[in-house]
């Protein structure tokens, strides 16, 4: 890992996290059932003090956690990230009662959180969501509709749910609700996905919610969603960088030891140049992730653009690096149980979730043009 912009204490902490992931988290991950929440793993993340840091750390620390865990145990990284994604709106926008009830349980790993934004017809176009929040007298609503591709569903204990409270208002008519999993009318089914972590669909059949369940303000839920995503998008990039680094490290070891054509694989220029390109792209992605996270921590005005750039570059880079690593390892990398077989399945989804690569390019372009004045000159 680069030392650029990081203090010695941060580098030491990253090393400790990688060791913890390998020694204490990976054995628990290996015992988990693919497609289901691994509650012992979540509880261990709490016992190690990592889950509480989700609510006390800045964006850079979140990136360092996710990158370090991903290098040794992608399941642990994902379990940590999903707790943060699902519960951050409660931390940032919840009432005293909401925070007191849920954040201690999320922090110690006894409650599993989920972020329920995507729908069958509103994935990348999140502002087009149609889950209805219909008035139910007084200060209450009934939620009716579906959510799909929701990580930790249907096994989570609480959901941050985004529903339409004002029809026809686009992003301005969405409200965020904290919905416990035991609410009447809320059901779900698991989805059989390429990624090994749990993903499911949710059905809301007139699920009751009240003003006490609102996160933030009515009709301003899209700000809750985008604020959460602006924080987590650079750290999705950090997850990708961790996977890319793991693939690069495996490739360095393999090409240095593998005999081929009268020498080692690394002696072939075609191989060594590919490894150099993998390292170059990984380091570039890492630096962009750190820059975006630092911008968030410093309340910079260009956070949406930087966050989008970091996620886009890092996830596309990880896909490239893992694919190259598989190619240089050959058929052994495609065997079930091989590190690269695992990474090959894990690396694809981050290019889609929390805003697909195409969405990130749209955000970047929009932000670039937004900062132009009428004469075409860039604003400072």
Catalytic positions? 354
For residue 341, CA distances in Å to 124, 195, 317, 319, 360 come to: 28, 12, 17, 13, 27
Length of the chain as a residue count: 380
d(CA 50, CA 106): 11
Give the bridge partners for 144, in sequence order. Answer: 132, 205
d(CA 142, CA 183): 11
Q: Is 136 exposed, middle or buried (0-12, 13-18, 19+ CB in 10 A)?
A: middle
d(CA 94, CA 159): 13
Q: How far apart are the first and last CA of the chain?
A: 33
Contact yes or no for 156/109 (Cβ under 8 A): no
């Amino acid at each position: 890992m680069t030392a650029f912009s990081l203090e010695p204490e941060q580098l030491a902490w990253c090393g400790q996290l990688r060791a913890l992931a390998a020694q204490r988290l990976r054995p628990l991950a290996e015992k988990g059932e693919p497609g289901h929440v691994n509650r012992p793993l979540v509880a261990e993340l709490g016992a190690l003090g990592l889950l509480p840091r989700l609510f006390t750390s800045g964006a850079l620390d979140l990136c360092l956690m996710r990158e370090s865990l991903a290098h040794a145990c992608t399941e642990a990284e994902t379990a940590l990230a999903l707790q943060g994604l699902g519960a951050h709106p409660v931390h940032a926008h919840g009432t005293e009662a909401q925070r007191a009830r849920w954040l201690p349980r999320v922090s110690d790993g006894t409650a599993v959180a989920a972020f329920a934004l995507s729908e069958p017809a509103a994935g990348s176009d999140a502002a087009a969501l149609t889950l209805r929040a219909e008035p139910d007298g007084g200060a209450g609503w009934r939620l009716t509709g579906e959510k799909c591709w929701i990580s930790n569903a249907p096994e989570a204990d609480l959901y941050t749910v985004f529903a339409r409270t004002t029809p026809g208002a686009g992003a301005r008519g969405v409200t965020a609700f904290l919905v416990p999993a035991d609410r009447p009318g809320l059901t779900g089914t698991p989805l059989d996905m390429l990624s090994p972590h749990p993903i499911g669909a949710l059905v809301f059949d007139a699920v009751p919610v009240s003003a006490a369940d609102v996160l933030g303000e009515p009709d301003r839920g899209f700000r809750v969603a985008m604020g959460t995503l602006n924080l987590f998008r650079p750290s999705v990039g950090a997850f990708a960088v961790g996977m890319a680094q793991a693939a690069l490290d495996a490739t360095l070891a393999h090409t240095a030891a593998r005999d081929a054509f009268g020498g080692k694989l690394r002696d072939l220029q075609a191989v060594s140049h590919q490894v150099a390109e993998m390292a170059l792209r990984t380091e570039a992605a890492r630096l962009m992730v750190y820059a975006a996270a630092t911008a968030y921590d410093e309340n910079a005005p260009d956070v949406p653009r930087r966050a989008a750039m970091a996620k886009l570059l890092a996830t596309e880079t990880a896909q490239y690096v893992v694919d190259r690593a598989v190619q240089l390892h050959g058929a052994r990398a495609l065997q079930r149980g091989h590190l690269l077989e695992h990474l090959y399945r894990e690396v694809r989804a981050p290019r889609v979730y929390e805003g697909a690569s195409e969405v990130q390019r749209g955000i970047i372009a929009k932000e670039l043009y937004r900062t132009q004045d009428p004469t075409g000159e860039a604003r400072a």
